[in-house]
Amino acid sequence: MVSRPVHDPPPRPEKATPREAPPPDLEQAPYWAAALEGRLLIQRCVPNGHTQLYPRAHCIRCRGAVEWEDASGFGTVYSFTVLRQHHSRSLRHLLPLVVALVDLDEGPRVMTNLVNVEPEAVEVGMRVEVYFERVSDTAALPMFTPA
């Protein structure tokens, strides 16, 4: 089990709203609890070994039962884009914001943000590592930073 620090979000301008915490959901509760502890979980299909993320009640390939397991937290940038403007008050102060698809070493591809990196330095194939940011007392968001 790999545990990483959970970081506080960067300071917000006066009128900015905080990022929203994920809505409570029984299927996803173990995922969000682990994220708050600095752990990235994925699901593995019991009958066939398929991996998936985001959490679901059954395997998305075969509908088999799934179990939670800790991921390494490492991956590779598959694709990305840079947001330079946004209407949401919870994101404006974070611009430019890198939104990326990251292939986790265990297989699943996730949509996330890349942090602690200049947008010009991001490239497809870049190795990244999970970085958790607290968004409330009950939730932390997994993002990624250069490995």
- Asked if pLDDT for residue 14 goes beyond 90, the answer is no
pLDDT of residue 128: 98
Q: Where are the domains of the chain?
A: 23-146
pLDDT of residue 66: 97
- Asked if pLDDT for residue 65 goes beyond 80, the answer is yes
Q: Considering only 5-14, 68-77, 120-129, which range has the smallest mean pLDDT?
A: 5-14
Q: Are strands 74-83 and 66-70 parallel, antiparallel or unpaired?
A: unpaired
Nearest one of 38, 41, 27 to 139, comparing CA atoms: 38
Mean pLDDT on 63-78 = 97
pLDDT tens, 121-139?
A: 999 999 999 999 998 888 8
